[in-house]
Chain A
Amino acid sequence: MEIRENLLYTETHEWILKKDRVVRIGISDYAQDSLTDIVYVELPQIGQRFKKGEVIVTLESVKSVAEVYAPVSGEIIAVNEKLNDEPGLVNKMPYDDGWLVEMKLDDESELNLLMDAKQYEEMLNKSKDL
C-alpha cells in the first residue's frame, strides 16, 4: 500500500497536497483499496464553501458508499471533471489523476492538525493490529 511522502493525511484517509493557499484533496491508496472499485463520484460545485469535517465528495463503489470529508475549511476552486467519465481513476491513481477537488484555504493553521506520512502509516499499522 503506497503512502506518499510529501502529503498530509486525515484519520478518515483523505490526503492533502498544499501549494500556497490552495490544497488538492484525494483519498489514500489504503482507502481506495478498502472501498474497492469506485463506479460513481459525486463532486461538489466550484464556488461551494465547506467547513472542516463536512462531506465534500461522495464515492460509490461496488461495495458501498463512502463520504469524503473536508480536511480543512474553504472554498472549492476546482473539481476533477475526469472522474465523471472515469471514476476508476481514484482506484488506479489515487495520488495523481485520481485527485478529487481543490480548495482555497480559509485558515492555514488547520493544516497543523493533520498527520504527515509517517504518522499516517503508524495509524494504519495500529488499526491493522486490532
Chain B
Amino acid sequence: MKTALYELHKELGATFTNFMGYEMPLKYTSVQEEHLNVRHRVGIFDVGHMGNIFVRGKDAMKFISKITVENAEKITEGKGQYTLLLNYDGDILDDEVFLHLKNEYLFIPNSGMHKKIAEWMKENAEGDVEIEDVSSDYSILAVQGPLCLDVLREIISFDIASLPLFGCYEIKNEMKIDFEGRCIISRTGYTGERGYELYIHPAEEAVQLFKKILEAGKKYGIMPVGLGARDTLRLEKGFMLACNEFEGGRNPIEAGLEWCIDWEHEFIGKDALIEFKKKEDYEKITFLECIEAGIPRKGDIVAKNEEIGIVTSGNFSPCLKKGIALAYIKTSHRNIGDEVYIEGRRKIKARIVKGPFVKKGEC
C-alpha cells in the first residue's frame, strides 16, 4: 500500500521501506540528520499509514470509557488523550490517541491495526454508537520540533499555541493557503518534542499541504523526516511501538503504562488487571543503555548470569551516540544501575537506567 504522498516522497529523494504493508519513506537524507533536526529545529512527517476511526452517537462517551482505560467523561470537547484498548485478558490490543471533536471522536489506531480495532469496537458497541473506519480517506501529517509553531503559523491563522497538550481543533476558515477539504489539528506527536498532527480529508489534499509546509518552513530549517528517525526519536523518549512492545500480549502494568489507567471506572480488561497486580514477579518494560559499542536489536536476550529478559526495541541513539534498548525484564532483576549483558549478534554490556533516555531539552 501507498499513502497519498508516495509520489511526493519519491520526488524528494526518499529511500523507502515497507512498514506494516505500507511503502513509507525511511529517510530522505540521513536518519541521524533528520533526527537531530527534529530535536533542534523542526521536521515534517507523513504518517498516513496510521488509521482513522470516527466514533459517534449518543452513547459514544460511555462506549469509549468501556473500550479504553480512560474515563472519557474527563476528555471534554477540544481535548484528546493517549490511551490503551485492552482485551478481556487485560492485554493491550493497541495504544491510540483519541480526539474529542464536535459531536464525534476521532481515534488514531496504529498502522495496520485499524481494521482489527474497528471490528473490536463494533463487537463491543452498545446503544447508540456509530463506528466509521475512514483510514484510507484521510492523510496525517506531523510537524514536530521546537520551531513547529513558527512553521504552522505561516499556514494556519488559528492560534494553535493555545491548544493544550493533546488538545484538538477543526480548522475552518483559518487556513492562510488555498485548501479544499477538512483539516483537524491536534497537539500530539511521537517524538517527545513540541508538535502537531494534521488530519486531512480528502487524503490527496495533504500533498499540496505537505509541500506548502516545507516551503514555509524553509527559513526555519525544516526537513522532511522518514520512519527511520521517527523510530529513533520515539525510542529515545521511551515511547512504545505497538508491534514491538506489545507483541505476543503485554498488559499496561508490564508495559509501564499503568499511569494511563483510570481505575475509577469500568473498562474491558479491568478484572484481569486487578488479578495480575497480585503477582510479585513479572516482566516489566525496562530501559537499557549500552556501555560497550554495539547496537541492541529486537529479540536480543538480556542476561545477568541467567536469562532475565528480552529486548523489544533497540537502536543507536543519535543524541547519546550509543546503543539504547527497551526490554522486558523480570521485576526481581530490575534494579537501576545494575549491569547486564545484551546478547544478540555479540555480547554488549549495558546498564539499567531510568527512562526516558533523552530528557526534555537534552540533546
Contacts and interface: CB of A to CB of B under 8 A. Distances in A.
A40 B344 CA distance: 14
Given A58-B345, A60-B316, A62-B315, A37 B294 contact: no
Given A36-B15, A36-B228, A63 B297 contact: no
B293 A36 contact: no
A37 B316 CA distance: 10
A62 B27 CA distance: 11
A105 B33 CA distance: 38
Q: How large is the interface on B (under 10, 10 to 19, 20 to 34, 35 or more residues)?
A: 10 to 19
A110 interface: no
Interface in B3-46: 15, 17, 26-27, 30-32
A28 interface: no
A84 to B, nearest CB: 8
Interface string B288-328: 00000111010000000000000000011010000000000
Given A36-B31, A37-B32, A40-B316, A65 B26 contact: no
Given A40-B293, A40-B294, A65 B345 contact: yes
Contact of A36 (B26, B297, B345, B346): B26
B30 A60 contact: no
B232 interface: yes
Nearest to B17: A63
Contact of A62 (B32, B294, B345, B346): B32
Contact of B295 (A34, A39, A88, A91): A39
Residue in A33, A36, A37, A65 with the greatest tally of chain B CB atoms within 10 Å: A37
A88 B318 CA distance: 12
B15 A65 contact: no
Interface string A67-98: 00000000000000000000010010000000
Nearest to A34: B15
A42 interface: yes
B27 A39 contact: no
Given A42-B346, A60-B294, A62-B232, A36 B30 contact: yes
Most chain B Cβ neighbours within 10 Å, of A34, A39, A40, A91: A39
Interface residues of A, number: 15
A37 B15 contact: no
Contact of B15 (A33, A40, A60): A33
Given A37-B30, A39-B316, A62 B228 contact: yes
A62 B39 CA distance: 17
Given A60-B316, A65-B297, A37 B345 contact: no
Given A36-B228, A42-B346, A65-B345, A60 B295 contact: yes
Contacts of B346: 42
B316 A62 contact: yes
A82 B360 CA distance: 33
A36 B231 CA distance: 13
Nearest to B318: A62
Interface in A83-130: 88, 91
A94 B102 CA distance: 54
A96 B31 CA distance: 22
Contacts of A37: 27, 30-32, 228, 316
A81 B295 CA distance: 19
Interface of B: 15, 17, 26-27, 30-32, 228, 231-232, 293-295, 297, 315-316, 318, 345-346
9 contacts: A36-B30, A37-B31, A40-B295, A60-B316, A61-B31, A62-B231, A63-B17, A88-B32, A91-B30
Given A37-B228, A60-B294, A62-B316, 6 more contacts: A37-B316, A62-B228, A62-B232, A63-B26, A63-B31, A91-B30
